[in-house]
Amino acid sequence: MPKIVNHDQRRQVLGEAAWRVILRDGIDGATTRQIARESGYSAGVLSHYFESKDDILLEALRISHTIINERLGSILENQTGFEALRTFCYDAVPLYGEQARETQLEISFWSRALVKDSLRRVQLAESSYWRDILLDIIIGAQELGELVDGDPQIMTDVLAGLIDGLSVHALLFPDRYDEKRLITLIDAQLALWSTATSGRRCSSP
């Protein structure tokens, strides 16, 4: 009797192996042979499920985002307002090893998305989901009176830009943008918007 193969499960195993190799060796250093070895399957099996390196990167990115979203949901479960906003920002930058590896994968994807429309569309959808979470947290903090009045869309864009910029700089210049520096810069921006530190409510961020 022929063996029944769970293709979804096997693709998941291969994707997780690709994710681990990419985080460890980078996208350029992750070969199909290494990914196959990591997964315990042959390179031929890997090529059956993924047509190109971009397909492998996409799967690894989806797995990474699932892990990030689950972690974020867990740490934000009992938090609201300004506290939730600060927690979100801390988790989104490479303060620790786990976030640093996730950021490396994300930036590897950015560089390829710049020259490939199919990857850029995925990046747009994924970043929109992440941005909507940030926007909801900002609106919630404003409704609680813990964040100054202002256009929440603009505030979201400002924080998204800050997070992306700090993440890139932390990877490129780790000695200059260490954990303490990242926290200081995030706190400095959030303090400008906190009603607890501003002592007033303003009409713009």
In a domain, 204, yes or no: no
| CATH code of 157's domain | 1.10.357.10
In a domain, 41, yes or no: yes
Instruction: Report which of 9, 61, 55, 41 is spatially closest to residue 33, judged by C-alpha positions.
Output: 41
Q: What is the pLDDT of residues 43-70, one digit of tens each?
A: 888 888 888 877 888 888 888 888 888 9
Q: 115 with 192, same domain?
A: yes
pLDDT number for residue 1 = 46
Boundary residue ending a domain (50, 67, 86): 50
pLDDT number for residue 198 = 62
Q: Which domain holds residue 31?
A: 1-50
pTM over 0.95: no
Q: 111 with 173, same domain?
A: yes
**Is pLDDT above 80 for 204?**
no
In a domain, 115, yes or no: yes
Q: 94 with 156, same domain?
A: yes
Considering its fold, how many domains does the chain have in total?
2
Q: 90 with 149, same domain?
A: yes
DSSP letter at 147 equals: B
In a domain, 121, yes or no: yes
pLDDT number for residue 39 = 87
In a domain, 125, yes or no: yes
In a domain, 97, yes or no: yes
Q: 34 with 116, same domain?
A: no
In a domain, 127, yes or no: yes
Mean pLDDT of all residues in the chain? 87
Q: 167 with 78, same domain?
A: yes
Distance CA 88, CA 141 (A): 12
Q: 35 with 71, same domain?
A: no
Q: 192 with 93, same domain?
A: yes
Boundary residue ending a domain (9, 35, 50): 50
Confirm if 143 and 195 have CB atoms less than 8 A apart: no
Distance CA 167, CA 182 (A): 9
Q: 105 with 147, same domain?
A: yes
Query: What does the block give as tokens for 27?
Result: 């996208």
Q: 38 with 59, same domain?
A: no
Q: 168 with 96, same domain?
A: yes
Q: What is the pLDDT of residues 15-46, one digit of tens each?
A: 888 888 887 887 777 888 888 889 888 888 88
Confirm if 176 and 120 have CB atoms less than 8 A apart: no
Confidence of residue 5 (pLDDT cuts 50, 70, 90): low
| CATH code of 36's domain | 1.10.10.60
Q: 191 with 90, same domain?
A: yes
Confidence of residue 88 (pLDDT cuts 50, 70, 90): very high
In a domain, 205, yes or no: no
